[in-house]
Amino acid sequence: MRILLSLCACAAIACGGSPANPGDDDDSPDAPPAVDPEGFQKLMEGDWQLGPGEEGYFCVYVTVPRDLYVKSFRPLTPPGTHHTVLTRYTGASPADGTVRCSVGTNGQSMIYGSGVGAPDFSFPEGVGLHLAQGERLLLNLHLYNATDNTLTGRSGTLFKEATAAEVPNLAELVLAGPTVTLTVPQGTTTQRGNCQINNVTSTPIQVFALSQHMHKLGTHMKSTIKRSGSADIVLQDVPYNFEEQAFHLVSPIELRPGDTLLTECTYNNTTGRIVRFGESSDDEMCFTDIFYYPAQGANYICSGL
């Protein structure tokens, strides 16, 4: 099943340069990470090119050169970048660099993602990520050239580094909602999907950030925790704008083992056809994007019960 959405052949942790001068790279493997005045370093980035009207995927692979603790992310999303998905990757090949790939080329555990118009994302105090030395990362780029000319760009991810003591709570990201069952008929309709995110361990998890992911027909999203014997807990009930997909911090909300997360997506389908789940911007998706801690090694897609 093809699921999900949803970068310089060198991994930018291991090469120099700066966001203001992305082409000024130092090829020395011992070069320190480039740091801008705001404290961001390049984690990974890659060059791509698409022909007129072309849509496709590029994947960037990198091996983490040393233990890193992350407290903030900044997406590099020039025109043509639809969204990015950053996962932990356990394979030994392909080698570090940038290659053509598909929508389903991802690791199991997701640690960051960005959509159209996404701003910087900073973890709350005491929360972050640990990237271990020797661990491999995979950044999947969904690219779409809506112009009549060839489009080139360099997309990627920056990060702000923390110490281990600053981030005792290690986070994880899951996309919750329907996948291949999603069908959007003509007119205004609401489609739904359920999942149990906390099904790996018996430990409660703390939700601290939320976002939404639909495509161009989406107008509204509601995300609700269903708990046996208790009143519903509404995580978000918000209008949706395809051009403004960003995470928002919330006061920690506890999800317990057995809780069900209901994702409800409202669409206005004026295409004259039935639209189904798919990776293209002309298809649709319906995901509650949910950041929580502690990380439990969950699959980054939670779909169906």
Summarize pLDDT for 77-106 with one digit per residue, the tens.
999 998 899 999 998 899 999 999 998 899
Q: What is the pairing mode between strands 121-122 and 68-76?
A: antiparallel
Domain boundary among 145, 170, 195: 170
Q: Assign 170 to helix, strand or coil.
A: strand
Residue 141 placed within a domain: yes
Query: Do residues 20 and 160 both lie within one domain?
Result: yes
Structure-derived torsion over alpha carbons of residues 224, 225, 227, 230, reported in degrees to the nearest 10: -60
Query: Do residues 34 and 177 both lie within one domain?
Result: no
Residue 2 placed within a domain: no
Q: What's this model's pTM, rounded to 2 decimal places?
A: 0.78
Query: Do residues 182 and 204 both lie within one domain?
Result: yes
**Looking at residue 190, which CATH number applies to its domain?**
2.60.120.230
Residues of the chain falling short of pLDDT 50: 1-32
Check residue 233 and give its pLDDT.
Answer: 95
Query: Do residues 210 and 266 both lie within one domain?
Result: yes
Q: Assign 167 to helix, strand or coil.
A: coil
Residue 4 placed within a domain: no
Query: Do residues 197 and 287 both lie within one domain?
Result: yes
**Looking at residue 79, which CATH number applies to its domain?**
2.60.120
Q: Assign 29 to helix, strand or coil.
A: coil
Domain boundary among 143, 170, 197: 170
Check residue 199 and give its pLDDT.
Answer: 63
Residue 7 placed within a domain: no
Residue 67 identity: D
Residue 283 placed within a domain: yes
Alpha carbons 46 and 67: distance in angstroms, whole number: 22
Q: How far does Cα 33 stand from its chain's mean position?
A: 23
Query: Do residues 72 and 138 both lie within one domain?
Result: yes
Query: Do residues 80 and 153 both lie within one domain?
Result: yes
Sign of the dihedral defined by the CA atoms of residues 38, 42, 43, 44, in that order:
positive
Q: What's the domain count of the chain?
A: 2
Query: Do residues 190 and 110 both lie within one domain?
Result: no
Residue 235 placed within a domain: yes
Query: Do residues 17 and 144 both lie within one domain?
Result: yes
Alpha carbons 212 and 210: distance in angstroms, whole number: 7
Domain boundary among 135, 170, 205: 170
Query: Do residues 27 and 145 both lie within one domain?
Result: yes
What domain range is 49 assigned to?
Answer: 12-170
Query: Do residues 22 and 166 both lie within one domain?
Result: yes
Query: Do residues 123 and 155 both lie within one domain?
Result: yes
Answer for the pair 13, 64: CB distance below 8 angstroms, yes or no: yes
Residues in the chain: 305
Residue 6 placed within a domain: no
Residue 78 placed within a domain: yes
